[in-house]
Structure 1
Amino acid sequence: MENQTNKKGTLVAIITMMFLFAMIAFVTNMAAPFGTIWKQHYEWAGMMGNMMNFLAYLFMGIPAGLMISKYGYKKTALVALALGLVGIGIQFCSSAMDGNAIITYIVYLLGAFVCGFCVCILNTVVNPMLNLLGGGGNRGNQLIQTGGSLNSLAATLTPMFAGSLIGEITKDTSLNAVRPLLLIALIIFAVSFVIVWFTQLTEPETEKTDVLGGVKEALHYRQLKLGIIAIFFYVGIEVGIPGQLLFYLSEPVANGGVLGSAATAGLIAGVYWMLMLVGRFVSAFISGKVSSRMQLTVTSAVALLLLLVAIFMPETSKMSLSIPNLAESTFDHVEVPTKVLFIILCGICTSVMWGVIFNLATEGLGKYTATASGLFMTMVVGGGVMPFIQNLMATKIGDIQSYWLIVGMLAYMLFYALIGSHPSKKA
């Protein structure tokens, strides 16, 4: 009977963690569509909301890991959801302000920053708990990839919904257009808080370790040191690929853009996240047999090839697409450069990278897993820094040429898969 109770508690914990995994994507993926609005008012502002989301990781990564050690996974998750409710509330307030005023943008960025604390803490909770609930190794990675599938589903729907609300991009477009999405987010966070509050979680046991000693000892593991660099680049890759694609496609045609529609661009970019869903779903089934190292090697190499093809393919090569018009329940026929297809296909490759890097970086760390997770989360700031740099590059050398930054980061991922991820601890 006790064994059955433990199994039930473990199952409830797994389901709860996977739901929180979806929440992470929902919050994070609002930033890029919102950025298409702000970019029309301030050219530098396109990726600033995303930057503020991820900047919070730099400040909260290690404290989040320490919160788990002191208060446990459930209480830490509740703190995260409360912060998410506050952050979305601030953004909702900004949507009611003057859409063209700089103070409106500052308030919005403050909300995005608070939301960043939320998703950082949730990430710190979800990944190690799923890994530990699965017993580590391939089974732990399998649970992370399954949760990642729900994460990708939320990531797919968010830019599509946001884009449909924004519609055609003009100088008069303001954040007021996406108020319904922010209201939905407020409701979801409130409901999530209540669900987690009343859920009885059977938490994995964690050993109490000295804070500074734990960080110092964890950094003796080479696979973790190189792994946190890999995650810095990876999140930059995952966010930068569809983020810059969204700007590339939504730029007004009058300014030399491709489509000039945030709705259409959001649907196309959403396919990238949908392919991440497919990739993670497949990985969830094969991870019991195919090692994390092999998955990272293959996906890094294929993504490199796809982006090189996209960069060198001529702009004149076009393909026709039938895009559903959600507002009018019809289909719009549009032409986009064929290279867009190769960029979108990278979603299959990036889909598995988060889980396998985390799995490889924390393999063999034992009682230092929670501390390592905090260090790991700190470097997720790369998801704000690298896309921001890429966006600045795009203003100078063009949207497509800015993907050379992604190519360089993918080269490091391949190095980590082949060499850097092998477990090694220095004395």
Structure 2
Amino acid sequence: MNSSKKGNVLPIVMMILLFGMISFVTNLAAPMGVVVKSQFQTSNLLGMLGNFANFLAYLFMGIPAGKLLEKIGYKKTALIGIVVGFVGVGIQYTSGLASSFFVYLLGAFVAGFSMCILNVVVNPMLNTLGGGGKKGNQLIQVGATFNSFMGTSVPLLVGVLVGEVTKNTAIKDVNPVMFIALGIFALVGLVLYFVDIPEPHMNVAGEAKEKSSHSAWSFRHFILGAIGIGVYVGVEVGVPGTMFFFLTDANAGALDGGTAGTVVATYWLLMLVGRFVGASIGGKVSSKTMLIVASAVGMVLAFMAIISPITSTVAIPVFQRSTTGIAFGLANVPINAMYLVLIGLCTSVMWGGIFNLAVEGLGRFTASASGIFMTMVVGGGILPLIQNGVADNLGFMTSYWVPFLGLAYLLYYSLIGSKNVNTDIPVE
């Protein structure tokens, strides 16, 4: 057993890197919207189309990715995801050379397929490599922490690069970020190709499965929870993504790209902090209570951002570029941005809470429910698109009624919708 665990060290490190890459590539789409908006002179809604294309892929790939994992196993599925991710980011890089908005959208869509596949792989693979139980869960938490770290780095890196450009920011200006993604994909792919991965959950050919007249869709609390996951991801992405547009707009925040990127990065940093706190109290506080508090506080913060005048400013601690590298410093921003950044503490603990409440009591249907959940991540593309459509017509702060209503739904789900009213359905 010990030798097996020692042999798993390298693939564990690679899986943690992939866990981070999921966040890195996914979070690249929103700040890239600012770049695309500048280069192609588009509206906020069109600028967010890359983010929409990235998440739209989940709608098509969520369930097939789960079946692919069952059929060919972790290693081959992960390698397929890595290759697709490399191609997707490569297409986005090519869009900068071709100066093509369509090619950029295609690259974002292809990258989304990769992110969906890898999302299906990394959680169970880390659990398996850790031997399950507490060790497996610990590895997943380590992966989630690195995921948050990489999510924090993206707007910071893009913001710094954009901040260095004086005129007409273009996709090619953020090529260094894409080179980082391509390099990590290549490294992880090569390592995984040459190492052995345990495959305890592959379906054996000819294996019979007992059919049931029921499914995960038979449970009301699961259906409402699946909707909740889509709403949650939309809120999580829409709040910082639209904030980037707001802070760089000449009629709103009017900050340079570098400063705007550091403010948005602080949102993701607070998500990292929130996950640490959530993990530390998770054994004492129920998912229901955690989701109630997070959604209610999030609503208050969103409401304060909406009603506060953008002329009021406040200094908040953010990442800043200095002569010695990246350090913390104070940035003067509209007070609305401070409230929006703090929402990161709330969204940090929502995924686990919604998932746990939605699959409670599902028994044998839990596995299929996980695939459906990945499909519903498409909400991360739909809600921000709607929000930026509102921003184009009614203003940035008015657009935050969209995540406010999303948080209101999550509060309803945590209080009422999460109750299992279908306990008569056999789940064994």
- Would you call these one fold, judging by a TM-score over 0.5? yes
Deviation at 1:317, TM superposition (A): 2.1
Matching of residue 414 in structure 1 with residue 415 in structure 2: no
CA contact (8 A) 2:316 2:338 kept: no
Q: Which amino acid aligns with 1:376?
A: F
Q: Which amino acid aligns with 2:42?
A: Y
For structure 1, which segment, 215-224 or 37-46, has the greater mean C-alpha deviation from structure 2 after superposition?
215-224
Q: 2:274 — aligned with what? A: 279
Matching of residue 354 in structure 1 with residue 342 in structure 2: no
CA contact (8 A) 1:33 1:262 kept: no
SS at match of 2:310: coil
Q: Count matched residues.
A: 417
Q: 2:58 — aligned with what? A: 57
Q: 1:290 — aligned with what? A: 285
Q: 2:169 — aligned with what? A: 173
Q: How does 1:367-382 map to 2 (within 5 A)?
A: 367-382=364-379
TM-score of the two chains, using structure 2 as the length reference: 0.87
CA contact (8 A) 1:149 1:276 kept: no
Q: How does 1:181-196 map to 2 (within 5 A)?
A: 181-196=177-192
Over the aligned positions, Cα root-mean-square deviation in angstroms equals 3.1
Deviation sequence 1:42-66 (CA, Å, 0-9, x none) = 1142101101100101110110111
Deviation sequence 1:227-264 (CA, Å, 0-9, x none) = 2101110000000010011000011x3xx132241111
Q: 1:32 — aligned with what? A: 30
Instruction: Describe the shift of the 1:288–1:195 C-alpha distance in structure 2 as closer, same or farther (beyond 3 A).
Output: farther
CA contact (8 A) 1:95 1:176 kept: yes
The separation in 2 between residues aligned to 1:409 and 1:174, in whole angstroms, is: 33
For structure 1, which segment, 182-191 or 219-228, has the greater mean C-alpha deviation from structure 2 after superposition?
219-228
Unaligned ranges ≥5, structure 1: 99-103
Q: How does 1:72-221 map to 2 (within 5 A)?
A: 72-98=73-99, 104-129=100-125, 144-167=140-163, 172-205=168-201, 217-221=215-219
CA contact (8 A) 2:5 2:130 kept: no
Q: Which amino acid aligns with 2:23?
A: A
Deviation sequence 1:102-150 (CA, Å, 0-9, x none) = xx11111111100000001111223455678899999987765543221
Instruction: Describe the shift of the 1:316–1:377 C-alpha distance in structure 2 as closer, same or farther (beyond 3 A).
Output: same
For structure 1, which segment, 80-89 or 410-419, has the greater mean C-alpha deviation from structure 2 after superposition?
410-419
CA contact (8 A) 2:266 2:319 kept: no
Q: 2:69 — aligned with what? A: 68
Q: 1:42 — aligned with what? A: 42
The separation in 2 between residues aligned to 1:12 and 1:121, in whole angstroms, is: 21
The separation in 2 between residues aligned to 1:96 and 1:325, in whole angstroms, is: 30
Instruction: Describe the shift of the 1:12–1:111 C-alpha distance in structure 2 as closer, same or farther (beyond 3 A).
Output: same
Deviation sequence 1:75-97 (CA, Å, 0-9, x none) = 21111111001101111111212
Deviation sequence 1:366-418 (CA, Å, 0-9, x none) = 44333222111111110001000000001111111111111111111112222
The separation in 1 between residues aligned to 2:185 and 2:289, in whole angstroms, is: 37
CA contact (8 A) 2:287 2:356 kept: yes
Q: Which amino acid aligns with 1:24?
A: I
TM-score of the two chains, using structure 1 as the length reference: 0.87
Deviation at 1:359, TM superposition (A): 2.8
CA contact (8 A) 1:139 1:287 kept: no
Q: 1:101 — aligned with what? A: none
CA contact (8 A) 1:146 1:284 kept: no
The separation in 1 between residues aligned to 2:127 and 2:355, in whole angstroms, is: 9
Q: Identity of counterpart residues, as a percentage?
A: 49
Deviation at 1:321, TM superposition (A): 4.9
Deviation sequence 1:150-186 (CA, Å, 0-9, x none) = 1110000011001111126776221110111111211
Q: 2:314 — aligned with what? A: 319
